[in-house]
Structure 1
Amino acid sequence: MVKFLVFIVFYVSFAHESYGLTDDEDFGSMAENNPTIDEEKIFLQLAGKTDPDEVKTCGQLIESRGFEYEVHYVTTKDGYILQNFRIINRYARESGKKLKPILLLHPLFGSCSVWMFNSPGGHIKPWINGHPPKDNSAELAFLLANLGYDVWIINVRGTSYSTNHTHLDPEDPEFWDYSFYEIGIYDVTATVEHIKKETGFETIIVIGYSQGTIQLLIQMSAIPGYDKNYDLVILITPIGFLGDKSGTVGAIPIPLFKLLFGSRNGPFPPVSGSVFAALDVLCRQPIVSPACVAILGGLLGLNPQQQNASRYGVYTGLLDRTSNKNLLHYLQFIETDHLCYFDHGEEKNYELYGSAEPPEFPFYKINPKKLVFVSGLNDQLATPINVQNLRNHLCDRVDTDHVITDPYFNHADIVLAKEAFPYLNDVVSQLIDEKMLHDEL
């Protein structure tokens, strides 16, 4: 059933149609811009909103919780202009403390909003005598901001926030000629360098979730020594292998999707604003809601007991896009069961890599003492088998290897679960606090 639903979702969407350092040109802190969400809002004017968080931009989500924000436009070495967000906690700034920067990396089909849309909570809290408050927010970005960290959130190329380029038009297929490799090498690196420049910190903490972990594994293995820029690298649902067919990937008709995604460069889905707005409206309907649960559960990995079904319109309305090439690279990743460079075919592979097959990313070059793993026993993408394969390919044990105690906690529960705080956010914030305390001693 799940395999059939996955096929239908992808079919309908198609029918609808030097390393990454910032250039000298820096667009600074400006207003946010998201024409895709603007399009969704027009669509939903006819249907009406049922939740205050529906089709809110990241800036609106931040302000609705009492925080302020900055938008930082960062230009990558290959010309993509990223629209990144920085959460401003006025109480933390008034404390006079120098706030440690933390960068959050979103998953596939997500954007900055995934770190902030779990529930209506996450509101700013006053500090007492210059000390941060206790907090139990289900949204990791707001929790960390309340605890006194300088929270930055990336929006990688191709998302509805980051569709600008120094010379390429998004209508040009060349704009979409990228995958998670370029995101890891260029987007993440450019953003890290920008944060260091803006804050004056030589090192930052970085947290990746799902595709965000792929980007970090690529960056740290392809750019030896880059981990010197990080105090801690927290990989939530770490993905370095995807060969275990017992989970979500076993439902994917790989030959068909390789044919579809390999047919042209372009965004997926091609018309994201209307597609996501339509999903928002459909998933509100009682007769359709069970199908939404089944589809999202099959695609993303959900534990129904942890879900707030009344907010499915929020989640579907804030889905985001990627490139066909990125999805094609995922399919290659599943087949090879190891992160490799993009497979262009034997002739071009020889030209680019000097071999018939694309080389694997050398995980053994990563410093595991900077790494924290957070994984789940019921994760349908970062399955226990896939995570163990990654452990086996590192040169040593990671600094901390935390397995979520709820045996049913699934892949998307990381940002959607009712109990995200006790099972994830509290764990992550305590790990960071311990690291910062240790460094101060």
Structure 2
Amino acid sequence: MASKGLHTLNIFLIISIASILYGVQLPIRTETKKSLGYPKDSLLNFTELTNEYGYDSQEHTIVTEDGYILTMFRIVKGKNCIGRNREPPVILMHGLLQSSDSWLDAGPNAGLAYLIADACFDLWVGNCRGNYYSRRHVSLNPDTDNQFWQFSVDEIGYYDIPAMVDYVLDNTGAENVNYVGFSQGAGTFFIMCSERPGYCEKANMLIALAPAARQTNTRSVLYRFLMGTVYNIEGFLKKTGVGEMLPKGSFGQEFLAFFCHLNSLTGRMCNMGQSLLDAFHPGSVSGETTRVLYGHFPAGTSVHNMARYGQSMKRRDFAKFDYGKDHNLKLYGSEEPPKYNLSAVSVPVVTLYGRNDGLVDVKDVKWLMRKLPNVVEELEVEDHLWTHLDVTYSQFTSTMIFPKIHEHLQSNSNN
């Protein structure tokens, strides 16, 4: 079985590299996918998925200060919510190469978006620049203007997260938000607090799920190889005009969506591939979720963002991108990239992490928690096999992590 999983990953690497280098796009028509027996949920977008299960959702458009057009979704009320929604509103933010759909892929009994909405919270689900929901700009064309793709978590934290916070506050009339961020979604919140004075005060609290800041101790060999390779060849890709990586509709994404739904064997092979990328947790991600999630994942990002993660594994701090001494001097006024001021994260922080996380190692989480001034609770998930991708895709989120999320959201709500 392990050799079959490895073979799947080899295929995935080859087609992914082809997608990057040659911009291969192979979007398959929805009608064709239906005729081939793709899972229905894998073909639906956020509002279609929530409506399918009886949840009322809205689509909102946000424009950042630097012109990126982001999509945010609001679940107005959970299907199983009895009574009024609690205040303040909750922002839920995805991780690298994901979208808002990742919070739905595990279904209404396990997807965190459903669970939070059912607990009567006014839920807003974000999408950072570059994924398929936020692949627009007021003046740049992502298909022809490589400048569109010159961003990483540095810009997402500086522009996208503040724009979402302001939009939610303006549209709800609330004084602050509760923020739940997974991996990159938590790391970019730290960047916002460091770089945008006053924005931490707009959050009532932060629940950081496997937060990604520095990644010095990342254990996944495959993840290190992928990110390190992109980091090493970023200059070449830039010269050839390649700025986007693993978008929805690319050959890589379409291949995975097709292959993983074929039968139970290919589904298990795809599940094995996830384990090799992250860590092994047999039975945590159901076969149905595996077949569904590849209709929405990978959701796309920039080559520069992937290179940023490759660089973060070579550092022992959490700092801005290192462009080299000369460029750093021009951009930052110093030869070394500035470190992010984690002491500026004044908001109360709760963190949940897994001992078996192959991407965000426990040692890096503990390093991060020591840097933050207001850590309320630091909790290792009870299941010792809990991995990084379990946060969004496990069938056990309702028992493993949601009770603690619910406890802190409830204690930081007004009703």
TM-score w.r.t. length of structure 1: 0.84
Moved more, 259-268 or 145-154: 259-268
Q: What residue in structure 2 maps to residue 272 of structure 1?
A: 249
Q: What residue in structure 2 maps to residue 16 of structure 1?
A: 19
1:97-126 Cα offsets, whole Å, 9 max, x none, are 66431001001111011111103xx2xxxx
> 1:37, 1:147 → 2: CA distance?
40
Alignment of 1:206-217 (within 5 A): 206-217=179-190
Kept after mapping to 1: 8 A contact 2:15/2:252: no
Indicate whether 1:257 and 2:257 are aligned: no
> 2:319, 2:11 → 1: CA distance?
29
Indicate whether 1:155 and 2:143 are aligned: no
Structure 1 residue 309, shift from structure 2 partner: 1.7
Q: What residue in structure 2 maps to residue 223 of structure 1?
A: 196
Structure 1 residue 417, shift from structure 2 partner: 1.3
Structure 1 residue 411, shift from structure 2 partner: 0.7
> Which of 136, 146, 149 is matched with 1:176 structurally?
149
Amino acid in structure 1 at the alignment position of 2:73: F
> 2:209, 2:275 → 1: CA distance?
18
> Which of 384, 393, 405 is matched with 1:407 structurally?
384
Tell me how many residue pairs correspond in the alignment: 401
Gaps of 5+ in 1: 18-35, 123-136
Moved more, 303-312 or 243-252: 243-252
> 1:182, 1:425 → 2: CA distance?
30
Indicate whether 1:113 and 2:91 are aligned: no
TM-score w.r.t. length of structure 2: 0.89
Structure 1 residue 95, shift from structure 2 partner: 4.6
Amino acid in structure 2 at the alignment position of 1:41: T
Q: What residue in structure 1 maps to residue 398 of structure 2?
A: 421
SS in 2 for 1:142: helix
Q: What residue in structure 1 maps to residue 371 of structure 2?
A: 393
> 2:248, 2:255 → 1: CA distance?
11
Kept after mapping to 1: 8 A contact 2:328/2:336: yes
Q: What residue in structure 2 maps to residue 31 of structure 1?
A: none
Kept after mapping to 1: 8 A contact 2:78/2:120: no
Kept after mapping to 1: 8 A contact 2:220/2:277: no
> 2:129, 2:391 → 1: CA distance?
23
> Which of 387, 407, 410 is matched with 1:430 structurally?
407
SS in 2 for 1:252: helix
Q: What residue in structure 2 maps to residue 58 of structure 1?
A: 46
Kept after mapping to 2: 8 A contact 1:106/1:209: yes
> 1:204, 1:426 → 2: CA distance?
19
Gaps of 5+ in 2: none
CA 1:290/1:260 → structure 2, altered by over 3 Å: closer, same or farther?
A: farther
CA 1:425/1:167 → structure 2, altered by over 3 Å: closer, same or farther?
A: same
Indicate whether 1:145 and 2:145 are aligned: no
> 2:62, 2:371 → 1: CA distance?
33
Q: What residue in structure 1 maps to residue 65 of structure 2?
A: 77
Amino acid in structure 2 at the alignment position of 1:194: Y
Structure 1 residue 230, shift from structure 2 partner: 0.7
SS in 2 for 1:170: coil
Q: What residue in structure 1 maps to residue 352 of structure 2?
A: 374
> 1:328, 1:44 → 2: CA distance?
33
Q: Percent identity?
A: 25
Structure 1 residue 241, shift from structure 2 partner: 2.1
Moved more, 194-203 or 337-346: 337-346
SS in 2 for 1:215: helix
Amino acid in structure 2 at the alignment position of 1:267: E
Amino acid in structure 2 at the alignment position of 1:186: Y
Kept after mapping to 1: 8 A contact 2:93/2:126: yes
Structure 1 residue 245, shift from structure 2 partner: 4.4
Structure 1 residue 232, shift from structure 2 partner: 1.0
SS in 2 for 1:150: strand
> Which of 243, 246, 252 is matched with 2:216 structurally?
243
Amino acid in structure 2 at the alignment position of 1:362: N
Kept after mapping to 1: 8 A contact 2:81/2:118: no
Structure 1 residue 182, shift from structure 2 partner: 0.8
Kept after mapping to 1: 8 A contact 2:60/2:71: yes
> 1:241, 1:91 → 2: CA distance?
38
Kept after mapping to 1: 8 A contact 2:244/2:301: yes
1:337-378 Cα offsets, whole Å, 9 max, x none, are 3321122222111011122221111212221x5111111111
Structure 1 residue 432, shift from structure 2 partner: 1.1
CA 1:80/1:42 → structure 2, altered by over 3 Å: closer, same or farther?
A: farther
Kept after mapping to 2: 8 A contact 1:53/1:314: yes
Q: What residue in structure 2 maps to residue 325 of structure 1?
A: 304
> 1:302, 1:415 → 2: CA distance?
15
SS in 2 for 1:331: helix
CA 1:336/1:96 → structure 2, altered by over 3 Å: closer, same or farther?
A: closer
> 1:37, 1:427 → 2: CA distance?
41
